[in-house]
Amino acid sequence: MLNVPSQSFPTPSSQQRVTSGGRSKVPLKQGRSLMDWIRVTKSGKDLTGLKGRLSEVTEEELKKHNKKDDCWICIRGFVYNVSPYMEYHPGGEDELMRAAGSDGTDLFDQVHRWVNYESMLKECLVGRMAVKPIVPKDHRTDYCEEKRVLNGMLPEIQVTDKLATENPSSPSYDWFQTDSLVTIVIYTKQKAISLDSVIVDHQDGSFRAETIVKDCSYLIHLGLSHEVQEDFSVRVVENVGKVEIVLKKRENTSWKCLGHPLEKHNSFIPKKDAGMLCCYVNLMLMKLLC
């Protein structure tokens, strides 16, 4: 799994290198401002080159698109064709090319993780990284969910009779990490998701996150592989139906796996069958209430 690199970023010779107390920007050509880019995205032009068709992208396919006029980048498991955006990027083309044909999640997080790239690049979305589900032979609690592919992708695991994977329109999740944080990302596939729809409970190493999607409940229930702090944060990106739960590691070590599945993990069932949780989520840093 890819983790945040120890080497400095941007590179010392980069135009984006901080020189006087702030991150400098590369001068853009006339007509290449943010507003100009927004106009491009609303023009109806095919920015992916796929005529609106979303694809599952293999690691091998991603590597092929590593040129300025054909540049795909993966961020949190989603692949974007950033070639049309090259001349509009405030940090310059060279910085985008550092992640060309590869997973740029860590580089993105280190430089400007606060940027709403989902909205800025939504018209450039090629699709998701392809993964192969890994199914354990039994439901033993010593099974550990590991990343098998690029950073940001987690194979879905079958642990209940009513699985989210039975329904192609049901939610899914993945995770990624930095030196100090673990982020669990839930893709609800519904745009009408708010913070009120998310309930989180973490105690004694057991982590539960319940997301209400219409009349159903999607549950993540794991025994985490390492200890985390009590404080955590939750962010909902309503326009894409994504929930991000950020946990703070107690020790700044690399996790080889997220944890092992517990009862009803990765299930998507009617709310009346879901049961109750005891902790409510706020927008910023939160502590357990139960």
CATH number of the domain encompassing residue 59? 3.10.120.10
What are the pLDDT digits (tens) for 66-107? 999 999 999 888 899 999 999 999 888 888 899 999 998 888
Between 64 and 7, the higher pLDDT residue: 64
- Among 105, 129, 153, where does a domain finish? 129
Report the alpha-carbon distance of residue 204 to residue 16 in Å, rounded.
44
Whether the per-residue pLDDT at 137 is higher than 70: the answer is no
For residue 176, tell me if it sits in a domain. Answer: yes
pLDDT at residue 143 greater than cutoff 70: no
For residue 136, is pLDDT > 70?
no
The closest of 103, 97, 54, 55 to 77, measured between CA atoms, is: 103
| 15 part of a folded domain | no
> Domain boundary residue among 100, 129, 158?
129
Question: Is 215 or 277 the better-scoring residue by pLDDT?
Answer: 215
Highest mean pLDDT among 9-18, 114-123, 142-151, 200-209: 200-209
Residues 75 and 198 grouped into a single domain: no
The Cα–Cα gap between 176 and 199 comes to 20
Predicted confidence (pLDDT) per residue in 214-238, tens digit: 888 999 999 999 999 988 899 887 7
Work out the end-to-end distance of the chain between its first and last CA atoms, rounded to an integer number of angstroms.
34
Together in a domain, 123 and 90: yes
The backbone torsions φ and ψ at residue 123, rounded to the nearest 5 degrees and listed phi first, read -80, -5
Average pLDDT over residues 20-33: 69
Of the candidates 256, 246, 236, the one whose C-alpha atom is nearest the C-alpha of residue 207 is 246
CATH number of the domain that residue 254 is part of: 2.60.40.790
The pLDDT, as a whole number, for residue 90 is 85
- Confidence band (pLDDT; 50, 70, 90) for 43? confident
Amino acid at 16: Q
pLDDT at position 273:
54
Q: Which of 283, 184, 167, 165 is nearest to 242 (CA)?
A: 184
pLDDT confidence of residue 274: 52
pLDDT in tens, 165-189: 445 578 888 887 878 888 898 988 8
Of the candidates 93, 113, 129, which is a domain's last residue?
Answer: 129
Alpha carbons 219 and 211: distance in angstroms, whole number: 7
pTM exceeding the 0.95 threshold for the entire prediction: no
Residues 246 and 143 in one domain: yes
pLDDT band (50, 70, 90) for residue 144: low
Q: Give the pLDDT confidence score for residue 210 in this predicted structure.
A: 93
Q: Within a domain: residue 230?
A: yes
Looking at the fold, whether 148 and 286 belong to one and the same domain comes out as: yes
Q: Is the domain of 71 the same as that of 179?
A: no
Range scoring the smallest mean pLDDT among 27-41, 54-68, 128-142, 258-272: 128-142
Looking at the structure, tell me whether residues 168 and 84 fall in a common domain.
no
> Could you list the residue range(s) of the whole structural domain that residue 81 is in?
34-129
Q: Is the pLDDT of residue 47 over 50?
A: yes
Neighbouring CB atoms inside 10 A of 159's CB total 20
DSSP strand pairing (259-261 vs 242-249): unpaired
- Same domain (yes/no): 240, 145: yes
Do both 112 and 256 map to the same domain? no
Q: How many domains does the chain have?
A: 2
Q: In this predicted structure, which of 66-75, 236-245, 266-275 has the lowest mean pLDDT?
A: 266-275
pLDDT of 152 higher than 60 = no
Q: Give the mean model confidence (pLDDT) for residues 137-160.
A: 41
- How many Cβ atoms are within 10 Å of 18's Cβ, its own excluded? 10
Judged against a pLDDT cut of 90, whether residue 239 lies above it is answered with no
Q: How confident is the model at residue 131 (pLDDT cuts 50, 70, 90)?
A: low
